[in-house]
């Protein structure tokens, strides 16, 4: 069952409170994620072309602000709304983002499942390495619907995340590939550490499940930017 014996929100928040420095690096802040710098670049470039007149960005699970910083490099002086469970992460994100935009920077320490978002306010929503903490189908439906409602017409949602696979043989191949990546990056102990906290914290869903859900909540266009092993970058336009 989704969420059974998984970490609580408080436990997840506590872990990220202690990891601010690592997540503050644009190049190495997601070392456990395959192709993290590439995905950051692809999403930021796609966002700039999809919504060139954007004035308001929402960054869900913003961490130390890497995605907002990268996007502001192409679309400067937007208003930026930051959401994260971790107050230390939010403080670092505001510290890094405020100097590079003349827009308003607003921060919310909150769980996106509980935060009330304004209707049709944002041109762009990004959610990097956050939705894999959602549990049952109802939560996924609720959050995707909330994002859709919060976007202006023609606004876009872009997701970069850990994913699962529906076919067991494919899942086995992809997790083996991911394990090889982690071992090569550091060693087997690091691989086991990462797999351990995924098992404890995360409930990722298959890419196809998420693409179908984006369409079902109302998005008119859905697109995949990148997939490698158990990670994918994809998005949708309202």
d(CA 138, CA 87): 27
Query: 3-state class of 30 per DSSP?
Result: coil
CATH code (residue 40): 3.40.50.150
Instruction: Tabulate helix, strand, coil % of the chain (nearest 5).
Output: 45, 20, 30
Instruction: Give the angle subtended at the CA of 136 by the CAs of 1 and 14, to the nearest 5°.
Output: 90
**Under 8 Å between Cβ of 123 and 152:** yes
Whether 2 is covered by a domain: the verdict is no
State both tokens at 131. Answer: 């939705």
Number of domain units in the chain: 1
- What is the pLDDT, as a whole number, of residue 49? 96
Q: Does residue 29 lie within any of the structural domains?
A: yes
Residue 185 lies in a domain: no
Q: Is residue 32 part of a domain?
A: yes
Write down the pTM of the prediction: 0.90
Those residues with Cβ within 8 angstroms of residue 165's Cβ, 6 or more apart along the chain or in another chain: 171, 174, 206, 207, 230
Of 58, 138, 68, 148, residue with least CA distance to 100? 68
Which sign does the torsion angle of CA 148, 154, 155, 160 carry? positive
CB 68 within 8 A of CB 59: yes
Q: Are strands 56-60 and 79-84 parallel, antiparallel or unpaired?
A: parallel
Asked if the structure places residue 179 within a domain, the reply is no
Task: Answer whether residue 188 is part of any domain.
Answer: no
Q: How many CB atoms lie within 10 A of CB 47?
A: 24
Q: Which domain holds residue 210?
A: 9-165+203-237
- Please indicate, yes or no, if residue 193 is contained in any of the structural domains: no
161 part of a folded domain: yes
In this prediction, residue 200 carries a pLDDT of 87
Is there a contact between 211 and 222 (Cβ–Cβ < 8 Å)? yes
* pLDDT tens-digit profile, the chain (238 residues): 455 576 566 655 555 544 545 554 444 456 788 899 999 999 999 999 999 999 999 999 999 999 999 999 999 999 999 999 889 889 999 999 999 999 999 999 999 999 999 999 999 999 999 999 999 999 999 999 999 999 999 999 999 999 999 999 999 999 999 999 999 988 999 899 889 888 888 999 999 999 999 999 999 999 999 999 999 999 999 9
């Amino acid at each position: 069952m989704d969420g059974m014996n998984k970490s609580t929100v408080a436990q997840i928040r506590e872990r990220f409170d202690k990891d601010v420095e690592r997540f503050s690096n644009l190049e190495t802040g997601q070392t456990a994620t395959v192709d993290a710098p590439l995905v950051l670049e692809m999403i930021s470039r796609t966002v700039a072309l999809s919504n060139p007149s954007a004035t308001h960005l929402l960054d869900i699970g913003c961490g130390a602000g890497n995605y907002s910083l990268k996007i502001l490099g192409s679309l400067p002086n937007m208003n930026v709304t930051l959401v994260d469970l971790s107050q230390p992460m939010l403080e670092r994100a505001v510290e890094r983002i405020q100097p590079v935009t003349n827009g308003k920077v607003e921060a919310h320490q909150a769980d996106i499942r509980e935060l009330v978002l304004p209707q049709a306010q944002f041109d762009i929503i990004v959610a990097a390495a956050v939705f894999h903490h959602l549990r049952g189908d109802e939560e996924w439906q609720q959050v995707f619907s909330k994002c859709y409602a919060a976007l202006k017409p023609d606004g876009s949602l872009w997701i970069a995340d850990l994913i699962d696979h529906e076919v067991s043989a494919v899942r086995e191949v992809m997790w083996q590939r991911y394990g090889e990546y982690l071992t090569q990056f550091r060693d087997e102990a690091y691989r086991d550490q990462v797999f351990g906290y995924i098992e404890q914290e995360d409930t990722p869903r298959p890419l196809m499940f998420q693409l179908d859900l984006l369409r079902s909540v109302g998005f008119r266009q859905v697109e995949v930017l990148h997939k490698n092993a158990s990670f994918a970058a994809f998005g949708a336009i309202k």
